[in-house]
């Protein structure tokens, strides 16, 4: 298998007419890493992947793979392989010929390419199905054939466009484990596009969160989860509440702010000028029911929704100037002092659980 390559995306833009799909992004994806491009539909993640692959032209900027600028090279000359969302298997060919197709196009003789295709099918534990057609396989098996076909060219980077979106929830979890194992086995760079936060957290060692064609944050899954860089990341990842207000005072790494029509809160972060707009994030699973022992780290709101989730209960609360605030409490804590929709409930969190977010 080829060595892994670093992918350097340098001030890359993609413009369709008057629409900017990717807006001058720069990022280095380390060699051998598993990188997930994560974001909602229309955020620019798929055009970015397609530009790395060479299936989309770059409007501005450069893409460097290893030490080679590949911006204007055709897909087959880049050292990348792409696995498409639809799998794009040929229905009339058996699995060996499907997997060997790119080698046939490259003029490799029949015996060599079929032997290599069988090796790839063995890697995917599909050698027993070698003479079947794609229609005779399950969705998960078809996906593994598509992976084998992408990997037969010995790429330095494997590009995956929402590879798990067509699978049922149980198969998704199984295929996540397969992808992780394959990545470790091959040691090459994986770049995987997804809109699923859970998928990105489970697979990646680097998560790139995108919005409106820009990169909001690029970091390890833990850092994105623990310390979201912006209000967009905090909201999109779904594990933080965001409270917005105006700064009324700053001290050493402590910012105090007022919520319009609501209370006064305190969070840790770089000092901000008085009157500046500010967003603070509070982890949903660190919110507890009960009065706050410290001013600025809690409020009382009305319960608007309850969801029982087995080990936990999700409460949605509205307060003065605060809408759709979420608390995820253990079932034990909830049933010790149960509340109902319509009840007024005091909530609080610890000082270290409120952080000031960066500007968008």
Q: So what's the pLDDT on residue 183? A: 94
Q: Please report the sign of the dihedral spanned by the C-alpha atoms of residue 117, residue 118, residue 122, residue 127.
A: positive
Task: List pLDDT tens digits, range 168-209.
Answer: 888 888 889 989 999 999 999 999 999 999 999 999 999 999
Which residue range is the domain that position 347 belongs to? 239-356
Q: Is residue 2 part of a domain?
A: no
Q: What total of structural domains would you count in the chain?
A: 2
Q: Are residues 254 and 122 in the same domain?
A: no
- For the residues 24-30, what does the mean pLDDT come to? 97
pLDDT score of 289: 92
**225, 237 contact by CB (below 8 A):** yes
- pLDDT mean over 19-29: 96
Asked whether residue 138 carries a pLDDT value surpassing 90, the answer given is no
pLDDT at 1 over 50: no
Per-residue pLDDT tens digits for 30-41: 999 999 999 999
How does the average pLDDT of the chain come out, rounded? 92
90 with 171, same domain: the answer is yes
In a domain, 117, yes or no: yes
Q: Would strands 288-289 and 277-283 be described as parallel, antiparallel, or unpaired? A: unpaired
For the domain that residue 328 is a member of, what is the CATH number? 2.40.50.100
pLDDT of residue 233: 96
Query: Residue 43 pLDDT > 70, yes or no?
Result: yes
pLDDT digits (tens, 9 = 90+) for 75-96: 988 999 998 877 778 889 999 9
CA dist 295 and 281 (Å) reads 17
- Rounded distance between C-alpha atoms, residue 330 and residue 327, angstroms: 10
Q: Are residues 210 and 270 in the same domain?
A: no
Phi, then psi, of 127 in degrees rounded to 5: -60, -25
Half-sphere exposure of 164 (CA within 13 A, CB side): 25
Tokens of 110: 């029949």
Reported as a pLDDT band with limits 50, 70 and 90, residue 65 is very high
Last residue of a domain, one of 198, 226, 254: 226
Do 258 and 349 have their domain in common? yes
Q: Does residue 216 share a domain with residue 83?
A: yes
139-151 and 110-123 are packed helices; what angle lies between their axes, rounded to 10 degrees? 130
109 occurs within a structural domain: yes
Strand order in the sheet with 68-69: 19-29, 7-16, 60-65, 68-69
Residue 124 contacts residue 145 (beta carbons within 8 Å): yes
Q: Is residue 323 part of a domain?
A: yes
Residue 359's closest CA among 237, 276, 266? 276
Burial of 201 by CB count in 10 Å (0-12 exposed, 13-18 middle, 19+ buried)? middle
Contact 87, 150 (CB under 8 A): no
pLDDT exceeds cutoff 70 at 2: no
Q: Are residues 87 and 151 in the same domain?
A: yes
State the pLDDT confidence band at 360, using cuts at 50, 70 and 90.
low
Of the pLDDT bands very low, low, confident and very high (cuts 50, 70, 90), residue 157 is: very high
At 107-119, the pLDDT tens digits run: 888 889 999 999 9
CATH number, domain of 200, equals 3.40.50.300
Does residue 233 fall inside a structural domain?
no
pTM here is 0.89
CB burial of residue 307 (10 Å; 0-12, 13-18, 19+): exposed
In a shared domain, residues 198 and 340: no
With respect to residue 82, please indicate whether it lies within any of the assigned structural domains. yes
Last residue of a domain, one of 170, 205, 226: 226
What is the distance, to the nearest Å, from the Cα of residue 76 to the centroid of all Cα atoms in its chain?
A: 27
DSSP 145: H
Domain annotation covers residue 234:
no
Query: Does residue 115 sit within a domain?
Result: yes
Mean pLDDT along residues 89-106:
89
Say if residue 205 is in the same domain as residue 343: no
The residue to which tokens 């706050």 are assigned:
292
- What pLDDT, on the 0 to 100 scale, is given for residue 166? 77
DSSP 146-180: HHHHHHTT--SEEEEESTTTTS-HHHHHHHHHHHH
Contact 281, 234 (CB under 8 A): yes
User: Are 48 and 149 within one domain?
Assistant: yes
| Helices 139-151, 95-105: inter-axial angle, 10-degree rounding | 20
> Do 191 and 264 reside in the same domain of the chain?
no
Q: Among 226, 254, 280, which residue terminates a domain?
A: 226
How large is the C-alpha radius of gyration of the chain?
Answer: 24
Span 97-103, average pLDDT: 90
Q: Are 350 and 267 in contact (CB under 8 A)?
A: no
pLDDT at 28 over 80: yes
Mean pLDDT of 335-344: 93
Contact by Cβ (8 Å): 285, 311: no
Q: What confidence tens digit (pLDDT) does each residue in 225-280 have?
A: 999 999 999 999 989 999 999 999 998 889 999 998 889 999 999 889 999 999 99
Tokens of 108: 């490799």
């Amino acid at each position: 298998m080829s060595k892994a390559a670093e992918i350097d995306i340098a001030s890359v833009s993609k413009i369709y007419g008057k629409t900017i799909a990717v807006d001058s992004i720069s990022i280095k994806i380390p060699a051998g890493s598993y990188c997930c491009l994560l974001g909602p539909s229309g955020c620019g993640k798929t055009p970015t992947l397609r530009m790395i692959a060479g299936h989309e032209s770059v409007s501005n900027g450069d893409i460097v793979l290893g030490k080679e600028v590949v911006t204007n090279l055709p897909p087959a000359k880049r050292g990348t392989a792409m696995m498409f969302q639809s799998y794009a298997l040929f229905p009339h060919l058996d699995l060996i010929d499907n997997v060997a197709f790119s080698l046939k196009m490259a003029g490799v003789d029949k015996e060599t390419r079929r032997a290599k295709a069988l090796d790839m099918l063995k890697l995917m534990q599909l050698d027993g199905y070698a003479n079947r057609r794609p229609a005779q396989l399950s969705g998960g098996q078809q996906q593994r054939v598509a992976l084998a076909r992408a990997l037969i060219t010995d790429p330095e980077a494997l590009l995956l466009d929402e590879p798990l979106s067509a699978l049922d929830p149980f198969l998704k979890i199984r295929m996540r484990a397969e992808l992780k194992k394959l990545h470790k086995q091959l040691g090459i760079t994986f770049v995987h596009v997804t809109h699923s936060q859970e998928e990105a957290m489970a697979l990646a060692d680097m998560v790139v969160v995108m919005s409106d064609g820009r990169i909001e944050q690029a970091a390890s899954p833990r850092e994105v989860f623990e310390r979201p860089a912006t209000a967009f990341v905090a909201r999109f990842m779904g594990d933080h509440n965001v409270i917005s207000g105006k700064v009324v005072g700053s001290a050493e790494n402590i910012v105090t702010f007022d919520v319009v029509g609501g209370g006064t809160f305190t969070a840790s972060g770089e000092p901000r000028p008085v009157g500046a707009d500010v967003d603070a994030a509070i982890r949903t699973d660190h919110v507890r029911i009960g009065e706050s022992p410290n001013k600025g780290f809690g409020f009382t709101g009305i319960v608007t929704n309850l969801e029982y989730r087995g080990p936990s209960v999700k409460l949605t609360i509205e307060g003065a100037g605060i809408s759709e605030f979420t608390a995820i409490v253990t079932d034990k804590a909830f049933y010790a002092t149960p509340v109902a929709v319509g009840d007024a409930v005091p909530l609080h969190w610890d000082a270290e659980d409120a952080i000031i977010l960066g500007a968008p």
